[in-house]
Structure 1
């Protein structure tokens, strides 16, 4: 059913036209094919690299994919290691195009936006890490990830990473304006839901 849905919306064609990273011509899998497999894994709840190998031995999945074997998890690690900033922007574009496709099935509608953030602990010396508030690993470098979703559909609208010292309301207005700018034209924000850490008097007046 999932594979049929992806075919109906032209998912593979969307990836190929947007995700420009190319591997060597003699590679067993091109980057666009691997991204398709990775989406399957995420939908099936296989969020860790080591769990992706389960798909290689699933006869039902192989049949659905036309007996095309899923790449080994090490291949996905190499793919992500080679990604640059331009690839992240292409992923963002793919996400926006999918939301736009969904919006075409709807009349102009009011929506609620859910905003949240989380601390992601870093291990080792990684770019962007700062020692800030970390409720679980005190004194460890981290990044602060902010996310915005359409409440009614759980579609991700915006996702950005900031240094670990960034407070929940730090740079939030710019983040929220970016989220609004990525909404389809027929989606009208009715309100925003977020916890108290995002608020201050200035933001309340603007929102």
Structure 2
């Protein structure tokens, strides 16, 4: 078995990942999500299939705003006002290929431009993503590592009732 010490991302060859315990960032995991996104063509799909009915020329385009919000939500920045905190975040700048992110007011205006057409576009993007994912060859083997946590269960939850009946040794999923 080979151990990968350092590898480059296909989405950005300048980024190299290794496991030597260097500088840490709580959002650096987004780089791996960006890599997966690049492999399935997610950004190209959004750019091709998504636009609002607003014809204004904007510095932050609709597809870029949508990608920014998707990455923000993935990394638990759920509110559009988090964009102000992230405007010059190096990880977000890297994954979005931008010098600065859209601000909270820009994202709020972006959300206000959503309508029934954008919902139809989201449905179409979803269908295209499913086709892409389903076309990927399935692995021959899947390893599931299932462990029971050490946290107690309280109340009238189903597992609590089973434990009370003496089924302590069952497998928990």
TM range (shorter): 0.5 to 0.7
Runs of 4+ in 1 over 3 A off after TM superposition: 22-26, 63-67
**Alignment of structure 1 residues 7-22 onto 2, 5 Å:** 7-21=38-52
Alpha-carbon deviation of 1:32?
Answer: 1.0
1:49-101 Cα offsets, whole Å, 9 max, x none, are 22232321322322343343110011111111121101111011112221221
Give the aligned partner of residue 85 of structure 2.
54
Taking a change above 3 Å as real, the CA distance of residues 71 and 21 of structure 1, as seen in their structure-2 partners, is: same
Aligned residue for 1:49, secondary structure, equals coil
| Cα distance in 1 for residues equivalent to 2:51 and 2:89 | 30
Contact 1:49 1:76 (8 Å CA) reproduced: yes
Aligned residue for 2:77, secondary structure, equals coil
**Alignment of structure 1 residues 120-135 onto 2, 5 Å:** none
Q: Does 1:88 align with 2:151?
A: no
Q: Does 1:27 align with 2:58?
A: yes
Give the aligned partner of residue 17 of structure 2.
none
| Cα distance in 2 for residues equivalent to 1:38 and 1:51 | 10
Alpha-carbon deviation of 1:34?
Answer: 0.9
Q: Which has the larger radius of gyration?
A: 2
- The number of residue pairs the alignment matches comes to 107
Taking a change above 3 Å as real, the CA distance of residues 87 and 64 of structure 1, as seen in their structure-2 partners, is: closer
**Alignment of structure 1 residues 43-192 onto 2, 5 Å:** 43-106=74-137
For structure 1, which runs of at least 5 residues remain unmatched after alignment? Answer: 108-207
| Cα distance in 2 for residues equivalent to 1:67 and 1:90 | 24
Tell me how large the CA RMSD over aligned residues is: 2.1
| Cα distance in 2 for residues equivalent to 1:97 and 1:11 | 10
For structure 2, which runs of at least 5 residues remain unmatched after alignment? Answer: 1-31, 139-173
Q: TM-score, normalised by structure 1?
A: 0.46
| Cα distance in 2 for residues equivalent to 1:27 and 1:72 | 13
Alpha-carbon deviation of 1:21?
Answer: 2.1
* Larger proportion of strand: 1
Aligned residue for 2:78, secondary structure, equals coil
| Cα distance in 1 for residues equivalent to 2:87 and 2:111 | 19
